[in-house]
Copies of this chain bind each other. A is one copy, B any other.
């Protein structure tokens, strides 16, 4: 619990290892400034939840209570608590708003909301952020809540973490969750739960794994109660305190993202094609290689090119890290990929495949991304394709703020994926006539040393640190340029972009994967 109602949002700024001024006191608690990739060594022990006893739980395993309100009251909801939710329902989530409606009704104040991400469907929580029911959001923010935060209107300081950083913060006790509310497409009365079955099927519940393991109280909410045992038990009922049946846990039509369409933009198709050619000629694609491509239009298209290369050579990828959708599922079912290691499903085919295929494996930020584990999978992936809102001439990249300074995106798994063997950002050279490659990123989310290749429609820039890639492609016909050349080309067309005018006031802290503070987001003047 965190009594942060009248607390200074931040204090004691220092310059961190990438030259950014960051606070060392955030919402009253100490935080470590970024020290460089791999430099910060944690010394403590993991968070230790209270020991429970079966004698306090029903022998028949039935943990159902009448309503979410009952469950929150039984869980001891009170001022200053930390409430966590997951975002597997994305913009079809129906539960987060209800939690805070109940908190408001009960007169609770100063809650910390710790979602794995927030979406437009939660916009009306702004009311509770304004009236003090919620003190702040610590979690990725997409859209309206990010805008609200950018304008300096949130009482506490926002803290943004990657998916892996969110698990790390829970595991390390940096964020102690009082009550985790886990919305689940299927659950049994004991609290075993999964995302593959039920009317609101979303595939998996991996983002809530850490919450279930470490929160003091865990509430599972479902619209699909099944008889014990709910198999697969992606969430173990042995961690769960209460189970609540509701009429509708999520809106299926909004759970599935509408973005899983191959791009039709000629420029983006060109970028995708160049990216795939680069990977082929740099020798990154081979029999047994592994990759992660997101669910955006360009990334999907690159994934398809990768599939074509596998088929042409009769090769088999060892695994695809996903965000799954119909395209990787097709490759899996055609036998061109051994495994999909899936962190979230983006369409019905992804959900079906996870339900049906034993080699379509559900993962979590623990297995895939937690930097404070004994290794994770992110560093074993041969190539990842990521986006960025800005990249600078030192290959530093921004993924949370736009060129106008507004924070409209979360970090997601982006920082974690940077640890792959080759990170490629396929990006347009400019957006709305504003160059994407600039002198210095507004918000530094990923240090340049982690970003290997920038692919644009007008050329490829390889990070000078990657002498091996430069060597392998120097005799190719690929349009390889320096990043300064790409920047100059953009400026020749669009002019030199102006830096956004921002206030000094800090509205959000950006965490690195190890829990250190890599940058801040400053207020947009309104």
Instruction: Spell out A's residues near B (CB within 8 Å).
Output: 38-61, 63, 171-172, 190-191, 218, 227-229, 231-233, 236-241, 288, 318-319, 339, 341, 358-359, 361, 366-367, 370-377, 379-380, 419, 421, 514
Contact = CB atoms under 8 A, between A and B. Distances in A.
B49 A46 contact: yes
Q: Which of A171, A227, A229, A233 has the most CB of B within 10 A?
A: A229
Given A54-B374, A240-B374, 11 more contacts: A40-B53, A41-B53, A46-B48, A46-B50, A54-B371, A54-B376, A57-B374, A58-B375, A238-B374, A238-B376, A358-B358
Contacts of A240: 374
Given A229-B361, A375-B190, A51 B55 contact: no
Nearest to A55: B38
A420 to B, nearest CB: 10
The complex is assembled from copies of this chain, and their number is 2
15 contacts: A40-B53, A42-B53, A52-B372, A53-B372, A53-B514, A54-B375, A60-B379, A60-B380, A61-B377, A63-B375, A227-B288, A228-B318, A231-B359, A238-B370, A239-B374
A238 B285 CA distance: 26
Nearest to A168: B51
B52 A373 contact: yes
A130 to B, nearest CB: 36
Contacts of A231: 339, 358-359, 361
A366 B53 contact: no
A358 B360 CA distance: 13
B229 A341 contact: yes
B53 A190 contact: no
Contacts of A48: 45-48
Contacts of A232: 358
